[in-house]
Structure 1
Amino acid sequence: MAAGERVAVVGASGAGKSTLLNVLNGTVVPTAGTVEVLGRDPSALRGRELRQVRARTGTVHQHLELTGALRVVHNVNAGRLGSWSAARAAWSLLRPQGVPEVRAALDRVGLADRVFERTDRLSGGQRQRVALARLLVQRPDLVLADEPASALDPALADLALELLGEPARSRGGALLVCLHDPALALRHCDRVVGLLDGRVALDAPATSLTLADLERFYGVVR
């Protein structure tokens, strides 16, 4: 991926999309070959070096990785733990830090009034937006997102992809996003990569593809 690039990864369930993201964020070690993230191989890093790469990598997981019993402010602040000391992180659980920044991030996803609400009281779509706000306060260089719009209505889905693409558009970062919706891929990404049984079966600029092309790739018949 080049700096400033937004890449959509598409494919049927089980094609390997989530596994690819987990390899890139360092939670899964590849059984063969190598991977380079921000110029480094995560599987070869330990300690401080690994934390530095992870701090520059923001991940929106398919299952969101939120703690339901905590208030929204704490889940959003989790995006900044990589740049905070252990003491500040612990103190923030008692007296939330950076509330204005958290509120501003939540405002961008339409949840500014939920800062201190328990996360498990939110709907699935609202929790998905909390995960987006967590990414906004982290300000990563590389964004990895696994089905970030699956629980959102069409307008919010477009907003989510706009926000996820900000690092690529504004500061030379990059976005790799797994999507089931071909239309979102074409509207918000520069390149589309299609996976089939763990292998790349499609790799083309979004401008060279049509919705019909991607529907044929998925085997969709209208």
Structure 2
Amino acid sequence: MNHPDPTPQPSPDDADRLSRVPLGEQVRALLLDGLLGGRWRPGDRIVERRLAAELNVSQAPVREALRSLQALGLLDAEPNRGVRVREIAPAELREVYQVRAALERLAAESAVVRLAGDVGELERHAREMEKAAASGDLLGQARHGVAFHRAIVAASGNGTLLRTWEGLGVEAWTVLSLHRVRPELHENAADHRPLIEAFRSQAPEAGRLLAEHVLEYADRSV
């Protein structure tokens, strides 16, 4: 005799809800876009209640997003006054780049072996950087540049290393540094070509080259 399975089965609606990006992450992305795009500048206040009303959401996801950006060091909390956008000192920017360079060097030493000369993903990101450069899109170029570096870190196969790298908020710091340095976009895109060749040829110095590439932007920012 067959007995019905008492375990409740997930409905299509349940799966759909699970696939959605959490609201707090959506708000964080909107805030980050505003910070990087210049809507809010150093010294500006962001009031949780007002932003929640503007976005037509509860204050909880806004609070979560603000705390996340505070943890990155982009915002300062002001009791009973919301948060204020921080002015980032050059020395602080350099510290972030120094940590990032060390992580990426470690990642590259594994990635250059694991990729075994397959640089297709790096090539795709480099082409997108070049397209963004041609159209004068600084923010777009920064995002494709971050994707280039993330592909190398992910290729290391070290999940802890990838999570630590992502925890630095690389995209935000990259855009901040590019705004400060204001490099020629084509030059910035071209800087990634020697890295591709190092990974293509499985050069043992790939990790060193990547770390030097990252630190070069730190040096320009101080």
Establish whether TM, by shorter chain, passes 0.5. Answer: no
- Greater C-alpha radius of gyration: 2
Question: Which protein, 1 or 2, shows the higher relative CO under an 8 Å CA cutoff with sep ≥ 6?
Answer: 1
Q: Which has the higher helix share?
A: 2
Q: Which has the higher strand share?
A: 1
